[in-house]
């Protein structure tokens, strides 16, 4: 249970760090690329398995790690932009409502049962993302306000589903740090191409604060994943229960951070969306 608590605290901290990027005008892309270099380093340091770079592509989890690395760099950028432009509560709701996607994948790919309560939970999750993205109680949500939360919702769901699948079928307990290091390494390499593209276009401007921000983000980013995987490997703790406790807690905690530390203003639709988010997770997990 200690790993679950630590995962909740560190995952909530990531949203706060992204919000601070906006406060201090940090270049999000540069900080994210540096963050993956730091997370990669921590993966190698904590690994009990010694592998050369040439041996890594031969591991059964490598293809999954590469795909997850691509998703990490993409979704992390979307998460940062969502927290900065839409607020902490919107980012956390959109990211954590994505728990319904692994549920849907399980129904389609593994013929898992689906009942009325589960369907209601999935629908409520989509409504929650919509309402939490609202900027006005009287006018409908504009597409530009909904785009980032929706992309975060879909991307985070794909990561959760992929991570659980690869971890369950291919990753041993002692291989977790090396598996994570490979994911972060792939994300770092892919992110590096984005930076090179900026250099070619003449848009690259390095600042020391981007390096510091990347280090500050990289350490909790690594441990958020390690704590989550270790929590998933806890005996007697079902993944549906774990994801429920984790996601609801992160939504609540980041909302509190946004209200008290960043003075974010939530309208009635946002509060309803957050409430529906919590209800939907509970319904999906209990069905």
Give yes or no for a contact between 62 and 123, defined as CB atoms under 8 angstroms apart: no
Average pLDDT over residues 5-31: 90
Structural element, H or E, at residue 60: none
Structural element, H or E, at residue 99: none
Q: Point out the least confidently predicted range of 23-32, 127-136, 163-172, 238-247.
A: 238-247
Residue 280, token pair as written in the block: 């939907």
Confidence of residue 240 (pLDDT cuts 50, 70, 90): low
Give yes or no for a contact between 46 and 179, defined as CB atoms under 8 angstroms apart: no
In the chain, what percentage of residues exceed pLDDT 90? 23
- What is each CA distance from 16 to 108, 113, 255, in whole angstroms? 35, 37, 10
pLDDT at residue 58 in the model: 92
Q: DSSP states of 107-174 as a string? A: HHHS-----HHHHHHHHHHHHHHHHHT-S-SSSPPPHHHHHHHHHHHHHHHHHHHHHHHHHHHH--GG
Q: pLDDT tens-digit profile of 184-216? A: 999 999 989 888 888 888 877 889 999 999 999
Confidence of residue 26 (pLDDT cuts 50, 70, 90): very high
Dihedral pair phi/psi, residue 227, rounded to 5°: -65, -40
- What's 56's DSSP letter? G
Evaluate the CA torsion angle 89, 94, 97, 99 in order and state its sign.
negative
Structural domain harbouring 281: 2-286
pLDDT at residue 113 in the model: 62
Structural element, H or E, at residue 81: helix 62-85
pLDDT at residue 216 in the model: 95
Question: Structural domain tally of the chain?
Answer: 1
Rounded-to-integer distance, Cα 3 and Cα 231, Å: 5
pLDDT at residue 220 in the model: 94
Evaluate the CA torsion angle 184, 187, 188, 189 in order and state its sign.
positive
Residue 157, token pair as written in the block: 């769901």
- Confidence (pTM): 0.79
Over 80: is that where the pLDDT of 242 sits? no
Give yes or no for a contact between 68 and 185, defined as CB atoms under 8 angstroms apart: no
pLDDT at residue 239 in the model: 66
pLDDT at residue 48 in the model: 78
Residue 3, token pair as written in the block: 């790993």
Confidence of residue 114 (pLDDT cuts 50, 70, 90): low
pLDDT at residue 34 in the model: 94
């Amino acid at each position: 249970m200690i790993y679950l608590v630590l995962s909740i605290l560190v995952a909530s901290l990531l949203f706060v760090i992204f919000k601070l990027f906006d406060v201090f005008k940090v270049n999000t892309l540069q900080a994210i690329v540096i963050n993956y270099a730091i997370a990669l380093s921590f993966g190698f340091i904590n690994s009990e398995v010694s592998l050369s770079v040439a041996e890594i592509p031969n591991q059964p989890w490598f293809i999954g790690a590469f795909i997850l690395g691509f998703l990490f760099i993409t979704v992390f950028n979307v998460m940062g932009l969502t927290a900065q432009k839409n607020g902490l509560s919107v980012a956390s709701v959109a990211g954590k409502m994505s728990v319904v996607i692994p549920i849907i994948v399980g129904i389609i790919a593994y013929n898992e049962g689906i009942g009325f309560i589960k369907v209601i939970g999935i629908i409520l999750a989509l409504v929650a993302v919509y309402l939490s993205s609202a900027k006005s109680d009287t006018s409908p949500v504009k597409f530009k306000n909904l785009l980032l939360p929706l992309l975060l919702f879909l991307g985070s769901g794909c990561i959760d589903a992929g991570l659980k699948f690869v971890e369950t079928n291919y990753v041993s307990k002692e291989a977790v740090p090396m598996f994570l290091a490979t994911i972060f390494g792939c994300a770092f390499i892919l992110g590096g191409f984005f930076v090179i593209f900026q250099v070619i276009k003449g848009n690259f401007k390095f600042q020391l604060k981007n390096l510091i921000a990347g280090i500050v983000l990289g350490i909790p980013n690594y441990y958020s994943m390690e704590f989550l995987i270790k929590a998933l490997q806890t005996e007697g703790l079902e993944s549906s229960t774990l994801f429920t406790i984790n996601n609801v807690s992160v939504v609540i905690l980041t909302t509190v951070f946004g209200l008290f530390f960043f003075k974010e203003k939530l309208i009635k639709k946002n509060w309803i969306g957050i409430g529906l988010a919590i209800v939907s997770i509970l319904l999906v997990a209990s069905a």
